[in-house]
Amino acid sequence: MPIHRAYILCNFARFSRLYTSWLDRLPVPWGIVEGVAADWEPPADAGIVITHMHYRWEEVRAIRRVTEQNRIPVLILADGILEYRNLYEHPDLADGCIFQPVMGHKLACIGRAQARVVESWGNVGKCEVVGLPRLDSLLTDPAPPIRTEGPFRLLIATATTPFFNAQQREAVVESLLHFKQRLEANGRVNGRRMEVTWRLTGGLERDLGLEKDSESVVRPPLSEAIDRADAVITTPSTLYLESVLKQRPTAILDFYNSPNFVSAAWTINAPRHFNAILSELANPPAAKMLFQETELHDQLACQSPATPRMIELTLALMRAREDSLRSGELLQLPRRMLADPLQGFAPVEPRFDLAQLFPGNEVFGESELERVQVELNLARERLGSLPGEMEELRQRTLELNEQNQKLNGRAREQRQRFEKLRATYLQLKERWQQRRKPSGPGSVSPRSGLGMKSKEGMNLRIEPDEAAGAHAGQLPESGPREAVVEASRPIAELDSPLPESAVPASGST
């Protein structure tokens, strides 16, 4: 069986860590395509074509010819995070050229989150979760610990290309100037003096007046600058993942107001966020560090080095090429070529510690197992007795409800009885007032005696002394006393005319 070669369709691959970090460990011959990529034709020994240059016409023309023939597999490398502005607001990139669709047979994604998004763009079966081999060294060479005393060392950096048009440049300059003014107005955070290192790109040092400072200091590699820092602030960039991988609390400075494919525990969108976020970066809450770590493992496959996965994927694609040659058929590639040791599940994060996440809750700080077991046993026994107690309370509640209903019934009866008495009183009062009115020439004033006509038409007279006795509380034999008795009679009986004896003489009270 002939030994096939891997061809790298990138003329500067020997200078890029995207390739040099793993190519030397590839156990098959490989070579870099020289000359004009658009005119390149894969030789007969080509076992695979590898490139990250999928957004220029020259490379895309060659890639398309190879993929349409479907005989030689094409592996596209993702070189960093997805960035909204790079996808949709880059004036120098053709619309849709960033994985919409993936031009090759497979895309080596840097993490699960990226694979999910790219597959949602119509690339189902083309994504393989590999990671970034150039960051593998960070897994074996841990960064020095963060200092919690002394000066607070802050690194402020920007992406390799921090803006793609004039409007974006204005936004990033505005955000950096606001931050610089904050630092000049108050150079301390949580009582610690701040030491700020600026690592800007795209000529931003001139816009901030930092050009002299940047020229007078020898810059260490960016990876070393992160090691020296206690926290990092960066514009949206793969630098964010590198900083988080070094376990630095890292904030994203984003005045663009664009969607983010990478979620950060801290995002600075306006000047009002500076003080609160600086304070937390200097003393990061455990919950936000857990969020940062969880997001890292979703964005970057870094539970183990990425180089073995990159080599495994390359060799698997080359074997598919050999199978195609042997059978004389087109390439047949499975939707997933790399096995997932986690089977799609997420591992438990090392930072997941309830005592750290909820420091104010004493329960999570309990470490004596026997004591917790006894308390748990007591709690379970107490819970076991609750159903009986709840049943007793339920029965008692039913009894009280029944009593309450009876009392409500009695109250309604009393209320109805009162309303009847009130109606009776009002009727009597109305009739009383009508009978007291003078009825004609035969009526007299109280001083000259009271008079009224009897049922037989005879004139009756009450002398003033008798009327005075009535005013003094001495009721006549018939009159108001009998009227009071009438108030207790049913209303139906009161509808008939009152007897003459129940009608008081005019002037009585």
pLDDT mean across residues, the chain? 85
DSSP secondary structure letters along 166-179: HHHHHHHHHHHHHH
**What integer is the mean pLDDT of 287-309?**
96
Query: Tens digits of per-residue pLDDT, 22-31?
Result: 999 999 999 9
Q: Are 311 and 25 in contact (CB under 8 A)?
A: yes
Supply the pLDDT for residue 492.
43
**Upper half-sphere CA count for residue 120 (Cβ side, 13 Å):** 6
Q: Is 50 exceeded by the pLDDT of residue 419?
A: yes
**What integer is the mean pLDDT of 31-60?**
91
Between CA 235 and CA 256 the distance in angstroms is 10
Query: Tens digits of per-residue pLDDT, 482-502?
Result: 444 444 444 444 444 444 444
Q: Is 90 exceeded by the pLDDT of residue 361?
A: no
39-53, 212-226, 312-326: least confident range: 212-226
Q: Within a 10 A sphere around the Cβ of 408, how many other Cβ atoms?
A: 10
Q: What tokens appear for 49 in the block?
A: 């074509």
Between CA 257 and CA 399 the distance in angstroms is 64
Question: Cα–Cα distances in Å, from 288 out to 134, 262, 281?
Answer: 27, 15, 10
5-136+305-327: what CATH class?
alpha beta
**Upper half-sphere CA count for residue 347 (Cβ side, 13 Å):** 15
pTM (2 d.p.)? 0.74
Runs of H (alpha helix) within 252-364: 274-282, 286-299, 307-327, 354-357
At the fourth CATH level, the homologous superfamily of domain 141-301+352-357 is Glycogen Phosphorylase B; (3.40.50.2000)
Q: Is 70 exceeded by the pLDDT of residue 90?
A: yes
Instruction: Using pLDDT thresholds of 50, 70 and 90, give the confidence band for residue 439.
Output: low
Q: Are 249 and 284 in contact (CB under 8 A)?
A: yes
Q: Is 80 exceeded by the pLDDT of residue 339?
A: yes
> What percentage of the chain reaches a pLDDT higher than 90?
66
Q: Which residues make up the CATH 3.40.50.2000 domain(s) of the chain?
A: 141-301+352-357
Supply the pLDDT for residue 471.
43
Q: Is 60 exceeded by the pLDDT of residue 238?
A: yes
Query: Tens digits of per-residue pLDDT, 242-276?
Result: 999 999 999 999 988 889 999 999 999 999 999 99
